[in-house]
Structure 1
Amino acid sequence: MKNILAYGDSLTWGYDAASEARHPLEVRWPSVLAGGLNMPVQMIAEGLNGRTTVFDDYSAASERNGAKMLPSVLATHEPLDLVIMMLGTNDMRPHICGNAAGSAAGIGRLISIVKTFPYKSYHAVPRILVVSPPLAERGGDKFANHVMQGASSLSRQYADAYKLVADEHDVAFLDAAKFVDPDPMDGFHLDQENTIKLGKALIPMVSELLAE
């Protein structure tokens, strides 16, 4: 049995912009990924609406800083064979970070936390897969677009920035924007079709990582 941690934000949680509820469990990308792997896995989907890479959001009612939460999540769920992290969409907000370099540095910090966490002596350090977030587009009336002001152009810088950090840390990388399109209802969440597409897109790389 392989243990996989999917560490992300509302795109991992399964937020549905149309209903403002949650996608059914079976269509969320972690579930689709787990179901498509030709091996027994335990998929731990740790998605939180509004989660950032390493930045505090003092406008939120709950802790959203991914770096502050990650050590407790690792301790809760070890042993882990693979950690998939897809964060950065919320960093695009001007009051959070608002630049790709800052988010990439945040991802680098999360990678370091996973690699240096004091796991139990009989637990190996998990493999890591960094997924850069999908593109953001100006959405419809379902979302107050000023909150994501500038995200459309900014989101196009993320894949290159994340790839550099992933290469520096010698971890796997996938660009989600090559496989999915944002829901036009708000411009940055994923509808059912695209969250399924993301899960399927991850299957080949995850299969390879778990086989190594």
Structure 2
Amino acid sequence: MKTILAFGDSLTFGANPVKDGPRHAYEDRWPSTLERALGGDVRVVAEGLGGRTTVYDDFTTAADRNGGRILPTLLSSHEPLDLVIIMLGTNDLKPTICGSALWASYGMRRLTQITRGQFFGLGTPVPQVLLVAPPHACETDNVDVSDHFGGLYHMIGESKLFAKHYLRQATDWSTGFFDAATVAKASPIDGIHLDAANTSAIGEGIAPVVKKVLGL
């Protein structure tokens, strides 16, 4: 059976847009939906953490949110892997973290390099990589969240540039690519997170791309 690592942030974790709301049910999280859509032929390991960045530090949090630092450990603990799906970048848009979709794309490039370098020369198959541009942020009255991301204009405008910059990295590094904004929309409750239906839709939408990448 093939194995996929789904590496992401709160959108992969299944965070609720309602403050202090319950985590989305296991079956509604997109890695679970993807596994079902692949017909039981593939195991999808979900590794989502709220606040995770691509490769940048956030010293205001308890857990290590730097994706570049934790990824090698996760690759080792879940090997052998056939595919690593990376959907990160939203938290990079915070002005205190990185601030732009362009630099988030550089982080995605580095995560691609880390994934390939982890297994090179070890006799272990090097997994395929699939870069996913996160859904766009949207209008919200939640000032706490929008201010955290540098204001509505910044968080929405930069989020709409993810696909452009990620596609360039995917092309340059010969990875797979999927734009989650084509199938999912953020909830206006907080402008960032997804309701259960939109979370699930990412797994369904990405399934055809995964089948092509893995030759299923």
Instruction: Measure, in 2, the Cα distance between the counterparts of 1:206 and 1:156.
Output: 23
- 2:142–2:191 Cα contact (<8 Å) kept: no
Q: Does 1:54 align with 2:58?
A: no
Instruction: Measure, in 2, the Cα distance between the counterparts of 1:34 and 1:142.
Output: 36
Say which is worse superposed, 134-143 or 60-69, in terms of deviation: 134-143
2:161 to 152, 157, 163: 157
Q: Does 1:38 align with 2:39?
A: yes
Aligned residue for 2:163, secondary structure, equals helix
- TM-score, length of structure 1 as denominator length: 0.95
The unaligned stretches of length 5 or more in structure 1 are none
* 1:18-77, Cα deviation, whole Å (9 max, x unpaired): 253210000000000000103422211000000000100011111000000000010110
Instruction: Measure, in 2, the Cα distance between the counterparts of 1:88 and 1:166.
Output: 15
Q: Does 1:144 align with 2:148?
A: no
TM-aligned CA distance change 1:35 to 1:140, over 3 Å: same
Q: Does 1:180 align with 2:184?
A: yes
- 1:16–1:23 Cα contact (<8 Å) kept: yes
The unaligned stretches of length 5 or more in structure 2 are none
Instruction: Measure, in 2, the Cα distance between the counterparts of 1:129 and 1:165.
Output: 11
Say which is worse superposed, 41-50 or 141-150, in terms of deviation: 141-150
- 1:17–1:186 Cα contact (<8 Å) kept: yes
Q: Does 1:10 align with 2:45?
A: no
- TM-score, length of structure 2 as denominator length: 0.94
Matched letter for residue 32 of structure 2: S
Instruction: Measure, in 2, the Cα distance between the counterparts of 1:142 and 1:21.
Output: 21
Q: CA RMSD in A?
A: 1.5
Aligned length: 212
Matches within 5 A, 1:1-212: 1-18=1-18, 20-118=21-119, 121-141=122-142, 143-149=144-150, 150-211=154-215
